[in-house]
Chains A and B, each alone.
Chain A
Amino acid sequence: MQATSRTEEQQRISKEFAFPGDVQSLAQSRQAMMDFLAPYCSGEAEEIDLFLTLQEALANAILHGCGNDPSKTIHCRVEIDPSAVEITIRDPGPGFDPYNATQSTDDGTNLTPHGRGICLMRSLMDEVTYRRGGTELHLRKLRATRT
């Protein structure tokens, strides 16, 4: 389900998405959001940052929020204005504590196979915020000036 709206000033663009909550849908879901975002990226670097961020955000929503269950749904919203790109991703899961989830991997000394997705998002985005008990992820990336 997708809906697009434009403000009267036509400076803010938003689009909503709904994806199945399984790993097999991840690439297609990510691509759908990138197809919307790519034309507004200032360059390849910004596009790559958003690509990687969406990969991690959707992977976490699928694995932890939906339990890799295609019958569950992830809801996403993308908002673009001249100053920033904002992405909100909501999953139907039980939530979690983002601080405890990354504490052991933030300094890179703990050889655990998990927990680096949030670390990556924090390095690629200007803001990474979890709300509603960890079931809603809010991402914000300031837009560079187009050259």
Chain B
Amino acid sequence: MLRIEVHALPHAATLRCIGRIVLGVECEILRCVAEGRTEANLILDLAQVRAMDAAGLGLLVELHINASGRGQALRIVGASRPVCALMAITSLHSVLNVSDCEEGELDPGGTGSCFAGRYMTA
């Protein structure tokens, strides 16, 4: 199961993923939610992702490529230990934008984020 919480800032959206990003409906819902965001900065918060497989890694790559094509900056933050381990094994940590950051760094005006929605698989 995957739950996605969307927090929107004026120029950034954070997708907080909770659960698993694996082959099947979980990957599909993350793909749909991420591809639907138009903010200049898109942040994937993976701190609460407890499992990921190669399909999930491939989706991160796909989102990275598509975001670049749209002129959108995609950043992965708070990758959990299982996700970090998989990225290290497949050397993706060196090609994707992976870091830890606070939402405030992208909101210099301090207007704060608004909760923009929640998506959840069965």
* Alpha-carbon distance between A107 and B65 when the two chains are bound, in angstroms: 18
Q: Is the interface of B mostly helix, strand, loop or mixed?
A: helix
Q: List 23 A-B contacts (CB under 8 A).
A: A23-B23, A23-B24, A26-B24, A27-B24, A52-B53, A59-B53, A59-B54, A63-B23, A107-B91, A108-B90, A108-B94, A108-B95, A109-B91, A109-B95, A113-B61, A113-B65, A116-B54, A116-B90, A117-B54, A117-B55, A119-B89, A120-B54, A120-B90
By the criterion CB–CB under 8 Å, are B91 and A111 in contact? no
Give the size of the chain B interface in residues (CB under 8 angstroms).
21
A66 to chain B, nearest CB (A): 13
Q: Is the interface of A mostly helix, strand, loop or mixed?
A: helix
* Alpha-carbon distance between A108 and B91 when the two chains are bound, in angstroms: 5
By the criterion CB–CB under 8 Å, are A111 and B61 in contact? yes
Give the size of the chain A interface in residues (CB under 8 angstroms).
23
* Alpha-carbon distance between A105 and B61 when the two chains are bound, in angstroms: 12
Number of A-B contacts (CB under 8 A): 56
By the criterion CB–CB under 8 Å, are A56 and B54 in contact? yes
Among A52, A59, A107, A109, the most chain B Cβ lie within 10 Å of the Cβ of A52
